[in-house]
Amino acid sequence: MSAPSAEGQRWGRVVCHLGKGLAVEDETGRIVLCHTRRRLGDVAVGDEVDWQALPQDQGRVERVLPRRSLLVRPAPGGRLRVVAANLDRVYVVVAPLPEPDGLLVDQILAVCEHRGIEGGIVFNKIDLVTESASWEGWVTDYLAAGYPVFRVSARSGAGLAEFREALRGHCVMLSGQSGVGKSSLTKALLPKMQLRINELSAKSGLGRHTTTTATLYHLPDGGDLIDSPGVQVFGLAEMSPADLAHAFREFRPFLGRCRFNDCRHVREPDCAVCAAVASGSLSTARYERYRKLLERLQAVPEFAGA
């Protein structure tokens, strides 16, 4: 928590967008409906701000404090939209059904690596798994790359105690494809979620608070969870091909050992990454998904000729 920069200003944290305003929580836990100064720029859920009290129990955000991390996603018109600020960790939720989308998982993890946010995997609905070998093999690549993998069931509660302990003291987000149980998992982690929704609804004066926008909730055991319904993927547009290769953390020991400094690790001769894949030192499945993501990235106009 930073000290406010001017007399009369107070520290706060943005917990939700409410219409054209912001729900800002002060250091006592009170929610204040705030507006922003013009030209303040994008203000995201999770942002720490300086705000000034106004009449009628409202306020005005004066300054966005320095962020330790920022996550964005694609928006119409080729723009980028801010999803959340000051995240520590993003957990990609997968399940036996629908079948895990490894390309989506790797894209989310790559963006998090690029943004300096820790990533991890949550394998939900483990009570539906009949043969452990069918999914244990799938997570092996992520364990080998150093990512934590949590096996849980939002329905039965299996594995949730260990996962809650990993969340303690951190600001986190759940992401992943539709149908994997993110909403059920969020409700299992946040037993008082509806109380916060009701509080924000009353504060906004706009009727029932819609949960289609990102909202920050406090976890019972400490830490925060930013719930952003509808956000499945984060964009690659801000990354270069070199950034993408570095974002596959298991590639890093081999980067810089290729013959060419600008090697993209596809067909270049004497590529250390390709050699590691051929020898079995790197996962073939992860490498093939890297190549598909590289193709996506090279389709972005900014890098198409790079």
What would the pLDDT profile of 187-198 be if each residue is shown by its tens digit? 999 988 877 777
Q: Output the pLDDT for position 306.
A: 44
Q: Is the pTM of this model over 0.75?
A: yes
214: pLDDT strictly greater than 80: yes
14: pLDDT strictly greater than 50: yes
Which amino acid, residue 236? Answer: L
- How far apart are the two ends of the chain, measured CA to CA in Å? 42
Q: How confident is the model at residue 303 (pLDDT cuts 50, 70, 90)?
A: very low
Q: Output the pLDDT for position 107.
A: 94
234: pLDDT strictly greater than 60: yes
Q: Give me the half-sphere count of Cα atoms (radius 13 Å) on the Cβ side of residue 125.
A: 18
Summarised one tens digit per residue, pLDDT across range 247-261 is 999 999 999 999 999
Percentage of the chain exceeding pLDDT 70: 89
Percentage of the chain exceeding pLDDT 90: 66
Whether 173 and 194 have beta carbons less than 8 Å apart is answered as no
Whether 183 and 229 have beta carbons less than 8 Å apart is answered as yes
Q: What is the mean pLDDT of residues 45-64?
A: 94
Q: Output the pLDDT for position 45.
A: 96
208: pLDDT strictly greater than 90: no
- State the residue for tokens 């520290």: 11
Which of 126-135, 145-154, 202-211 reaches the highest mean pLDDT? 145-154
CA 195 from centre of chain:
24
Sign of the four-CA dihedral 52, 55, 57, 59: negative
Q: How confident is the model at residue 305 (pLDDT cuts 50, 70, 90)?
A: very low
Q: What is the mean pLDDT of residues 117-144?
A: 84
82: pLDDT strictly greater than 80: yes
Q: Give me the half-sphere count of Cα atoms (radius 13 Å) on the Cβ side of residue 275.
A: 12
Q: What is the mean pLDDT of residues 202-209?
A: 59
Which amino acid, residue 183? Answer: S
Q: Which residue has the higher pLDDT, 232 or 118?
A: 118
